[in-house]
């Protein structure tokens, strides 16, 4: 049973580390003269758009289930 919380924690840590990396890659501090060439790992605009679509699909499905059961 400890496996599931470990997997959730691993996913959250991975997302957190990628977010920190990407925020450093695009910050003005990291873009100075001594900065190396660093690119973002995740296109956060696309990720936000996809997440919005997932939320809308879940909401629509939930409303359909409520309508069928009520």
Q: Using one digit for the tens of pLDDT, what is the confidence trace for 12-62?
A: 999 999 989 888 876 555 555 555 566 777 888 888 899 999 999 999 999
Identify whether the C-beta of residue 40 lies closer than 8 Å to the C-beta of residue 25: yes
Distance (Å, rounded) from C-alpha 64 to C-alpha 28?
47
Dihedral sign computed on CA atoms, order 40, 41, 46, 50: negative
The pLDDT value recorded for residue 4 is: 95
Q: Which of 44, 18, 20, 24 is nearest to 36 (CA)?
A: 24
Q: Half-sphere exposure of 66 toward its Cβ, with a 13 Å CA cutoff?
A: 6
């Amino acid at each position: 049973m400890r496996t599931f919380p470990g997997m959730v924690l691993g996913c959250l840590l991975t997302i957190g580390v990628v977010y920190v990396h990407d925020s450093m890659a695009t910050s003005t501090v990291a873009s100075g003269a001594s900065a190396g060439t660093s690119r973002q790992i995740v296109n956060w605009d696309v990720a936000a758009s996809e997440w919005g679509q997932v939320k809308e699909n879940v909401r629509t499905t939930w409303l359909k289930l409520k309508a069928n059961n009520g």
